[in-house]
Amino acid sequence: MTMLRLRDVGVRFGGLVALNDVSLDLNRGEILGLIGPNGAGKTTLFNCITGVVQPTQGSMYFEGRSLRLVPPHERARRGIARTFQNLQLWDSMTVLENLEVPMDAVGRRNTFSDALGLPFSGYSERAARERARAILHVLELDGYGDRLAGDLPAGIQRRVEIGRALAMRPKLVLLDEPAAGLDARETERLADLLRTVRERFHVSLLLVDHDMSLVMRVCDFIYVLDFGKVLASGDPAEVRNDQKVIAAYLGEATPELSAGEPVPELVSGENPEVTAPRKEPGEVLLEVESIAAGYGHLEVIRDVSLSVRAGEVVACIGANGAGKTTTLRAISGVIHARTGSIRFGGRDITGAKPERIARMGLAHIPEGRGLFPRLSVEDTLRIATDTTGNRAPLDLAYDVFPRLKQRRRQAVGTLSGGEQQMVAMARAILARPRLLMIDEMSQGLAPTIVRQLFRMIDVFREQGIAVLLVEQFVESALEVADRAYVFEHGSVAHEASAEELRRDRNLISGSYLGATADETAAIAVASNGHSNGNGHFPHPDLMEVVSMRMPAALKRALEERAEREGRTVGALALDLLEEAKR
């Protein structure tokens, strides 16, 4: 039976047609996929269904009733819930609280009776908490309930967002890129989890994601949007083989075809330092020596050493929470290294301000992009060229991303997720760095663009610009990189040439199997560092104790003793706790 029926839906933003005559049917119990290039209108369609954006034409029916002029909270009450492309949890609330608040919003609790402390309130509060705990259990988030949402890694936060949507007792959940930022293993688990969610909560799902491994695996049926129109629809196999879809979105996998696409020249000939193409890497540009860093009491990385030569492409790979992002942050000065030293271009930059480091030619594109939402595309790019003193013509960036030229007056905050990622890349290109550090370049981007960007990295190398890459698409990263560091539990576990890693898959898979996908960096520090999937998962309560409240020196002592005794840290700590109790 049709649960959601859209007919000829259209949306305009000023002169821009974001959606044009979109018709779509979603059946009860179905997992429906919605894919398409960046800016195709997928998020806009979500906004129409939830009532945040008013369509300029067309009709929408949910369970046979029109949604016309129905306000967003009423749609939520009727059973439509969503997650957001850019995570929108309440960071300073616990995970449980994040799930309980939306239950208030749909009227399971009543502020009035709450304030008066009436018995009903106590009952409904317990009921809300119980439901929240049940949701956390199904989503394999037991043990996270009392953690602050903002302290969790993105992979876990994405799942908490799904939990928050489920807390509203929805019939339909709209998921906007739930796999963004997840590693391969987490994505695989998410696929299973979404099916479980459908069975256990009796919900239908509408799924937007650029990760085809997820979409093709879980969706019963798929619609493809392009330029605001439905380009194709069908089951996963049909869509994957549809020539129109391949041309507009999936791209060709065969190298003959992709090699033919032109790659724009990124760096013009004015800068003498980078004009001479260099095949062999040059002198050491970045030298990181056994740094440790973290947040608050938490030590996330320790004893990390790495180096990058001029014109070299180096990848950092490893499971989520292994410490890659924190390493980049420490290098660019966003957080301070607690021990160790960092040298860039022969100068000591340990503890230097991020602005100073950027002026020296070290650009950092953070995960989550770090853009100012109210600034226009053009102003954002102009500031980038001004601060570095490199008055590069903006056309350099517009050649790479023609889409941005069309959108140059638009506020960055209203761009689609992928368009924002393009702005972040463009800004870095214009800064003409000597070293470019990119955290999760592919996140939120359509497959064709991802391929194009990986080829651009090749061009960077040819022009003598070094790149340090943190990437979940390990295959693509290793294809373009010269060398790679494999991170495990907050340290570098292996260093090898990309070629060697491509040959010896075991070196990599070990680092992904060692940590359960939902381990945070903090938890990783608490575990014993054994990396080959020994099936040991630290006890959740213990993780709290070991990773949050224990001074680093004590933690290390514990780890050393565990290693001497050939046990896991978790087992040793549990024994010690037992002893202390007695």
Ligand X SMILES: Nc1ncnc2c1ncn2[C@@H]1O[C@H](COP(=O)(O)OP(=O)(O)OP(=O)(O)O)[C@@H](O)[C@H]1O
| Interface with ligand X (CB under 6 A) | 13, 16, 18, 36, 38-44, 85, 407, 410, 414-419
d(CA 560, CA 161): 38
Residue nearer to Mg ion on the CB measure, 128 or 231: 231
From ligand X, Mg ion, none, which one binds at residue 415 (CB under 5 to 8 Å depending on kind)? Answer: ligand X
Residue 495 CA from chain centroid, whole number:
25
Q: Which entry of ligand X, Mg ion, none binds 414, CB below 5 to 8 A by partner kind? A: ligand X
Interaction pattern, residues 175-214, with Mg ion; x per rule: CB under 5 A: ----------------------------------------
With respect to ligand X, which residue has the nearer C-beta, 288 or 377?
Answer: 377
Residues 6+ apart with CB under 8 A from 358: 332, 364, 387, 388, 431
Q: Which is nearer to ligand X, 38 or 527 (CB)?
A: 38
**Binding flag, residue 417, Mg ion (CB under 5 A):** yes
Which of Mg ion, ligand X, none has residue 295 at its interface (CB below 5 to 8 Å by kind)? Answer: none
In whole angstroms, how close is the CB of 68 to ligand X at the nearest point?
21
Which residue's CB is nearer to Mg ion, number 416 or number 568? 416
Dump strand ranges (E) for 108-217.
Answer: 172-176, 204-208
Mask for 65-94, x = binds Mg ion (CB under 5 A): --------------------x---------
Task: Please give the residue whose beta carbon sits closest to Mg ion in the complex.
Answer: 43
Q: Which does 18 bind (CB under 5 to 8 A by kind): ligand X, Mg ion, none?
A: ligand X
Minimum Å gap between C-beta 394 and ligand X is 18
Out of Mg ion, ligand X, none, which partner does residue 116 contact, by CB within 5 to 8 A per kind?
none
The nearer residue to ligand X, 44 or 491, going by C-beta atoms, is: 44
Q: What angle do CA 391, 393, 394 make, to 5 degrees?
A: 115
Kindly give, in sequence order, each residue whose CB lies less than 8 Å from that of residue 186, ignoring residues fewer than 6 positions away.
155, 179, 320, 517, 518
Residue entry with tokens 């979409």: 215
Does residue 36 belong to the site contacting Mg ion (CB under 5 A)? no
**How far is residue 249's CA from residue 232's CA, in Å, rounded to a whole number?**
11
Strands 229-234 and 221-226: antiparallel
43 interacts with Mg ion by CB under 5 A: yes
- Closest contact distance (angstroms) between CB of 53 and Mg ion is 13
Pick out residues in 548-567 that bind Mg ion (CB under 5 A): none
Is 420 an interacting residue with respect to Mg ion (CB under 5 A)?
A: no
Relative to beta strand 313-317, strand 466-470 is parallel
In angstroms, what is the minimal distance from the CB of 205 to ligand X? 17
- C-alpha 237: how far from its chain's center? 27
DSSP class of 506: H
Q: How many Å separate Cα 114 from the centre of its chain? A: 37
3-state secondary structure of 234: strand
Closest distance of CB 226 from ligand X, Å: 9
Using the minimum distance from each CB to ligand X, give the nearer residue, 195 or 408. Answer: 408
Residue with smaller CB distance to ligand X, 18 or 468: 18
Q: Tell the smallest beta-carbon distance from residue 86 to ligand X (Å).
A: 10
Of 40 and 197, which has the nearer Cβ to Mg ion? 40
Q: In what order do the strands lie in the sheet with 204-208?
A: 80-82, 172-176, 204-208, 31-35, 221-226, 229-234
Helix axes 552-564, 569-581, angle to 10 degrees: 110
**Shortest distance in whole angstroms from residue 356 CB to Mg ion:** 35
How many residues are listed for the chain in this entry? Answer: 582
Could you tell me the smallest distance in angstroms from the CB atom of residue 56 to ligand X? 13
Closest alpha carbon to 266 in 388, 396, 458, 391: 396
The interface partner of residue 155, options being ligand X, Mg ion, none and the CB cut-off 5 to 8 Å by kind, is none
Is residue 22 within 8 Å of 10, Cβ to Cβ? Answer: yes
Measured distance CA(325)–CA(308) in Å, rounded: 16
Q: How far is the CB of 229 from ligand X (least distance, A)?
A: 12
Give the residues lining the site for Mg ion (CB under 5 A). 42-43, 85, 416-417
